[in-house]
Amino acid sequence: MDLTLPKWYDLHTHFRQGANVGLYVADHLAMGCAGALAMPNTKPPVSRISGADTKTARSIEAYREELFEAGASAFDQLIIPLYLTRETTPAMIVAGAESGLLRACKYYPPHGTTNSEHGVPMDEWIGGEVFTAMEDHGIVLCIHGEQHGLIGSAYFDAHQTAESIFYAQTLPRILEAHPRLRIVCEHITTAAAASFVTGAPDRVGATITPQHLLYTVGHLIQGLKYHLYCLPIVKFESDRAALREAVMTPGQSKFFAGTDSAPHTTKATECGCAAGCYTGGCAPQLYAMAFEEAGADLGSDAGRESFTRFLCSNGPAFYGFEGSKETFMMKRETSHTKPHLTEDGPVVPLPYGMGLTLEWSIAAS
Ligand code: DOR
Ligand code: ZN
């Protein structure tokens, strides 16, 4: 079976900084990706709008230049959110919006994930002037929705997790305090988050990764497949079922692709494991596998329609740009991913790190 689709958009990915950026960008281009939202948790963080890098901060303008030089000028969209830190001011939001460089800001729960130590607790933003300036200028808030600073037993338990607590206790307060703020709930993983987004006004959307549609915590734990370790962590069967239902609902417009592809050259460390799954080069194939596991017939009009909405059109519509007029082609043929052997260490993509092959391949992009 062949599947010719409009080129798609990855509205949440990590390209990092330095020598390997070109590899990661090339992987995205090779998988039919027309544009990307490149996360700002680089070293140092992207916490300014313009100007030269300093030891502690880089700007959207400078990071954009680095990505362009590494091949990202071939994308027709490149969104770089501003990392919300103690340096962020309402004046930066206004200047960023007016210059056209700023389209989104990213909230990281402090110490909640990779390079998130510059994050400021959500309670300090709610009702404040930065979020108000974002509302006034139509700047999207991208949220890593996990409650920060919890003890282990609250962080991940059978009946509640850092994510379900965040969606129950914190997100409703943001919506209430900022009635015009456009929000993307990033990489949602739980039934609680999916149901929150479904019931929220249209100004709230969500990205979902391939790994959260395909796997559960059992896959991670059975043999401790640490390449599947990402944050928020993969959850339970009932959560995966809710995510699958959300993306498969005919005509849905809120859920879209955001791979959270996150290259790590040192995955297992002496004192733990770096969070992030690399899906550069294989994300549409993994998403297609997930849709099929969820019961979609990608050969039928209905199946193709829900897959195309999720992968290619809902994301651009939410961020306010046109979907791609170009196409790429997938084939239902087995293929294999390979690690990148970089000078800093191997970057191992899924599903290689899961010992599996891909049931789809990219035929042309
Ligand atoms: O698994 C993750 N990896 N989750 C994040 O929130 C960050 C990302 C990364 O940058 O590696
Ligand atoms: Zn991410």
Long-range contacts of 63-72, Cβ-Cβ distance < 8 Å, separation of 24 or more: 63/17, 63/38, 64/101, 66/17, 66/21, 67/15, 67/21, 67/25, 67/38, 70/15, 70/21, 70/22, 70/25, 71/22, 71/25, 71/26, 71/29, 72/15, 72/25, 72/36, 72/38
Q: How far is the CA of 1 from the centre of ligand 2 (A)?
A: 32
Give the active site residue among 76, 136, 260, 301: 260
Q: Which of 186, 187, 230, 264 has most ligand 1 atoms within 8 Å of its beta carbon, as the pocket-test mutant? A: 230
What is the number of H-type helices and E-type strands within the chain?
14, 18
CA neighbours within 13 Å on the CB side: how many for 2? 6
Q: Which residues line ligand 1 (CB under 6 A)?
A: 14, 41, 113-114, 144, 230-231, 260, 262, 275-276
Compute the distance from residue 228 Cα to the ligand 2 centre, in Å.
14
Which atom of ligand 1 is found nearest the CA of 264? 11
Whether residue 353 is predicted with pLDDT greater than 90 in this model: the reply is: no
111: which residues sit within 8 A by CB, 6+ positions away? 117, 119, 148, 149
In this predicted structure, what is the pLDDT of residue 351?
Answer: 83
Contact predicate 141/105, CB 8 Å:
yes
Nearest to 282 by CA among 174, 168, 359: 359
Task: Looking at the CA of residue 41, tell me the nearest atom of ligand 1.
Answer: 10
Q: Which ligand is nearest to the CA of 42?
A: 1
Q: pLDDT tens for residues 210-250?
A: 999 999 999 999 999 999 999 999 999 999 999 999 999 99
Query: Residue 140: CA atoms inside 13 Å, Cβ hemisphere, count?
Result: 26
* 207 vs 255: CA distance, rounded Å: 6
Q: Is 344 a catalytic residue?
A: no
**What pLDDT does residue 320 have?**
97
Residue 365: predicted pLDDT: 72
Phi, psi of 363 (to 5 degrees): -90, -35
Per DSSP, helices labelled H in 121-248 are: 129-137, 152-155, 162-169, 171-177, 191-199, 210-214, 217-221, 237-248
Strands 58-59 and 46-48: parallel
Report the nearest-CA residue for atom 4 of ligand 1. 231
* pLDDT confidence bin for 99, thresholds 50/70/90: very high
| For ligand 1, mutation pick of 16, 231, 265 (most atoms within 8 Å of CB) | 231
Q: Which ligand is nearest to the CA of 277?
A: 1
Task: Identify the H or E element spanning 287.
Answer: helix 283-293
d(CA 120, CA 143): 12
Per-residue pLDDT tens for 238-294? 999 999 999 999 999 999 999 999 999 999 988 899 999 999 999 999 999 999 999
Q: Which CATH number fits domain 9-326: 3.40.50.300, 3.20.20.140, 1.10.8.640, 3.40.50.2300?
A: 3.20.20.140
**What are the structure tokens assigned to 60, written together?**
């959207």
The CA 275 to ligand 1 mean position distance, Å, reads 5
Kindly give the distance from the C-alpha atom of residue 168 to the centroid of ligand 2, in angstroms, as a whole number. Answer: 21
State in Å: Cα 277 to ligand 1 middle. Answer: 8
Atom number of ligand 1 nearest to Cα 144: 6
pLDDT of the residue at 271: 87
Taking CA atoms only, the protein residue closest to ligand 1 atom 10 is: 114
Structural domain spans, the chain = 9-326
Q: Which numbered atom of ligand 1 lies nearest the CA of 263? A: 11
| DSSP code for 295 | T
Instruction: Give the β-pairing of 272-273 and 268-269.
Output: antiparallel
6 φ/ψ angles, rounded to the nearest 5 degrees: -60, 150
Query: Rounded to an integer, what distance in angstroms lies between the CA atom of residue 118 and that of residue 62?
Result: 19
Please tell me the number of the ligand nearest to residue 184's CA. 2
Task: Give the global pTM.
Answer: 0.97
Q: Note the pLDDT tens digit of each residue in 18-63.
A: 999 999 999 999 999 999 999 999 999 999 999 999 999 999 999 9
